[in-house]
Amino acid sequence: MLTLTANDIRLGCKATDWQDALNQASEHLQEAGRITADYHAGMLAREQQSSTVLGNGIAIPHGTPESRNAVISTGIRVLQFPQGVKWHDDRTVYVLVAIAAQSDEHLDILRHLTRVLDKPGLSQQLAQTTETTALAALLSKEPVVPKCDADTLCLGVETRSGTELAMNAAARLQSLGCVDSAFMKEIVGQPAVSLGQGFWLVHHSIGNRRPALALATPREATEELAGVFCLAGLGDDCRELLERIDNFLAQNTPLQGRSVDAVLSRLSGEQANAVSERVRLLNTHGLHARPAKQLVQEARRHNADIRLRLEEGDGNSVSATSLTRIIGLGARRGQTLVVSASGSEAEQAVSHVCQAVRDGLGESVSPLRPQETEQKAPTPEAPPEPLADDEPLKAVAASPGLALAPAFIMRQPVLDYAATAGDPDEQNSRLGRAIDEADGQLRTLIRQAEGGEAAPILSVHVEMLQDDDLRQAAQEAINEGSSAEAGWWQAIDTAARAQEALPDRLLAERAADLRDVGRRVLANLCGVATPTPPDESYVLVSDDLGPSDVARLDTRRVRGLVTARGGATSHSAILARALGLPAVVGTGERILTLDDGVDLVVDGERGCVVPNPGPERRERINRRLDQLARLQTDAHECRNDAATTTDGHTIEVCANLGNTAHTSDAVERGADGIGLLRTEFIFMAHPEAPDLDTQVKEYRHAFDALNGLPLVARTLDVGGDKPLDYWPLPQEDNPFLGMRGIRLSLTRPNILETQIRALLTAADNRPLRIMFPMVKDLAEFRAAKAIVERARADIPCQDLQVGVMIEVPSCALLAHTLAPEVDFFSVGTNDLTQYTLAIDRGHGQLSAESDGLHPSVLQLIRMTVEAAHAHQRWVGVCGELASDPQAIPVLLGLEVDELSVTSRRVPLVKACIRGLSLGQARKQATLALGKATAAEVRDALEAQ
């Protein structure tokens, strides 16, 4: 779906009439490079067909399907009119959401906005807000959609026990991914509340993943026990579900044979004596604004209470006279509407509404094809258009570098299997054998990847295989008649969808790991092997890559990675950077239309791919590759030489490490030391906090391999996207602004002190630099340093320095207060950029704007360096900016003392510095500081 950001919003607009407002919206879309001038005619034509006003002061003007050829790229512009604009349907509009869409993406925006429109007082808030971020939040807030449908009903259970019914209902919610095992534990022994009529309610808010309502009924109902409702959720999220229980009880009638449809009718508020009929929706784009408006007009002609329910939906029925509620159903072609009515004209009303739907509600419709009638799922989208030769496709830059090689499209093998099976015991045995086989495969990969970045991730996969909840959910499905394959994948898919629904994008991306594990077991069950790459060099293209896929890569042949999905922080992207492979992710489904063997350019610095490059582009790419190859060869030969500029200024170039196993590799590549050791690897590899001896042994490997070179160790940095099982954290709306880094470590000072003691012991008077992550001010640094001093009193260390990472803007702004007390600063440009620009660097649309060369970030680095040098302290940079060829001279000109990069790039960074003079670098830094945007900085530097 299109994403709305503060950059897309214009506040305080004025218009003389609706045509003027539409002109302004069109002009803004043109200025943004989204459309040509021809699109405006399409927007006017769309208004002539029907008003685009949704209600509550919102309109969504967009072009007709015929005007899509005037769309350059999909985008949105939001215009606020505080005084309001009278639209041609006499309604007042305060906010225009002008959409330029190359496909039907605007329909998803429309459905989303209709759910937002129910918020009381929204139009007044839209008109009065004076902040773009606030307006974006009002329009973008994701609605909570409770689950209560046919899947949550357990009817006719063979029991007379209310407790068993409660557990059946709770287990159904767990199998659907609505609750987790914590909810199940709380429900056990939970006293049920009598609702009357023989119905009972159990409810808890712990262990919720999604508000949901299940109902379990016994095969033989009695006055004392007719059924048990199980409610999961908290506060307002449960309001709709409580209303459904109220609807159910209000009828006080038998369940009419306890059929699923009868129960759903009662839960959705349909009257017991209501007339109902089903009708298949035939409109190409589903029940969007124009046909929905026609349906409302038809419903209002009848003296009846008419309601609509989507048979394949969440079980909720809506009034047929509410345009926004009808659009919010999200009904698509091929789905079935349940139309019900009560009142004096009920039969006539249902008949006329159903006929209007069959006739297309003002649109031309065609009958469903046979393959469409066989399924209730939405009609598949048209296959994506093939990529054009020699045309760049922009996406997310995930790992720097450049490659040109034939593409190998790693398509997932087709796994055919029966959905059902007759012998549950045999199916459970098959599943057990497949899981054991997968366990052995993963452990073999872990041994092969020992010491590498993939090993700890694959260890997590082994833990996933042992997950009791997954195994139990699969076994329940098998015991109900599913085959081992179907039961296992249902459990995996349910858990992965729940993970993907998490509000934190980084955690949601980890669903790829779960599916990776699931596919491995499924392939074992089906006896299907994974695709085999070619023997020659290639670029690997895939829908998405799991860590085990990356772990199997032969880096001697693979030249680059490209995925249709994923973000810059997914495990595959992290591993690609560790392997030094250029990678571009989030390219979309069109990338999968490529044929094997098509030459593909992967530019991991610009974030683009180019299929089948033309002669001119190919020549340019080959020149760049030749230059890079010569530079790499020369750099490798001189890797042990100092990084000294042409005018005699030397800067240290160190290596960033994710574990100690690669320390010797960093030294062999010419690193002047370790500028960042991420110590959380040892904490994430153990089921409980590692003790002193375990840590000493691990850190000692690094010191021994360094042969007297300095080691900068960052203390434990977990929280955010790196939780620890043995250190549970409360759910946070934004974990990156919550308990992480040093603030989290200070809540468990014993763990922090053990780590510091281990570092001091392992150092054994060798050069050790301890730095604390995510420090915001002097108070946090003093609290952490006091622990160091306490440990140092027992374990002397002659060459010890204590510093902080500059990741939080407040720390850079207050560097002058910290400098007298710290020994050094290390600038983590990844997080510093993210927090300074308020842009998630892994965001699919905004990641390109999260650029460390933004002048605001450079100003913070300058302030840090000036404060440090005033007190004779040194400053390093350990983020990705340190290895950016355009940024290196700027950082040198800002007089940074050390750069720390991935070990593979150490020789290249050293070579780059040796080709610069400090005088030139200072001029480039001054030039960059004088620009207004990161794009201006890069353009100016490129022109030098």
Cite the active site residues.
62, 288, 571, 878
Residues listed for the chain: 944
Angle between helices 692-706 and 749-763 (to 10 degrees): 40
DSSP code, position 872: T
Give the closest residue to 96 by CA, choosing from 3, 2, 19.
Answer: 19
Which residues are within 8 A (CB) of 192 and not within 5 positions of it... i.e. 6 or more apart?
Answer: 162, 166, 200, 201, 202, 228
Amino acid of residue 265: S
Buried b (16+ CB within 10 A) or exposed e, 69-94: ebbeeebbbbbbbeeebebeeebebb
Asked if 787 contacts 753 with a C-beta cutoff of 8 angstroms, the reply is: yes
- Which helix H or strand E contains 730, and what residues bound it? none
Cα 150 versus chain centre, distance: 29
Distance CA 643, CA 639 (A): 9
User: What is the phi-psi region of residue 360: left when phi exceeds 0, alpha when psi lies from -120 to 50, beta otherwise?
Assistant: left
DSSP code, position 139: H
Give the closest residue to 721 by CA, choosing from 915, 504, 904.
Answer: 504
**DSSP assignment of 278-327, as one string?**
EEE---TT-S-HHHHHHHHHHHTTSSSEEEEEETTTTS-EEETT-HHHHH
Long-range contacts: 369-374, Cβ < 8 Å, 24+?
Answer: 372/333, 372/334, 373/334
**What is the torsional sign of CA 679, 682, 684, 690?**
negative
Distance CA 645, CA 657 (A): 26
Tokens representing 279 are 């009708």
In order of 193, 460, 635, the CA distances from 662 in angstroms are 60, 21, 20
Distance CA 546, CA 911 (A): 34
Distance CA 19, CA 387 (A): 37
Give the closest residue to 545 by CA, choosing from 577, 576, 579.
Answer: 576
Q: What phi and psi values does residue 157 have, to the nearest 5 degrees?
A: -70, 135
Q: What phi and psi values does residue 262 have, to the nearest 5 degrees?
A: -65, -40
Give the closest residue to 291 by CA, choosing from 299, 13, 665.
Answer: 299
In order of 53, 54, 100, 333, 893, the CA distances from 89 in angstroms are 8, 11, 22, 28, 61
In order of 699, 787, 830, 901, 927, the CA distances from 677 in angstroms are 10, 20, 16, 11, 33
In order of 20, 680, 753, the CA distances from 748 in angstroms are 61, 15, 9
Buried b (16+ CB within 10 A) or exposed e, 787-821: bbeebbeebebeebbbbbbbbbbebbbbbeebbee
Distance CA 450, CA 456 (A): 9
Distance CA 906, CA 902 (A): 7
Distance CA 438, CA 488 (A): 13
Q: Tally Cβ neighbours within 10 Å of residue 674.
A: 28
In order of 450, 521, 932, the CA distances from 246 in angstroms are 58, 44, 58
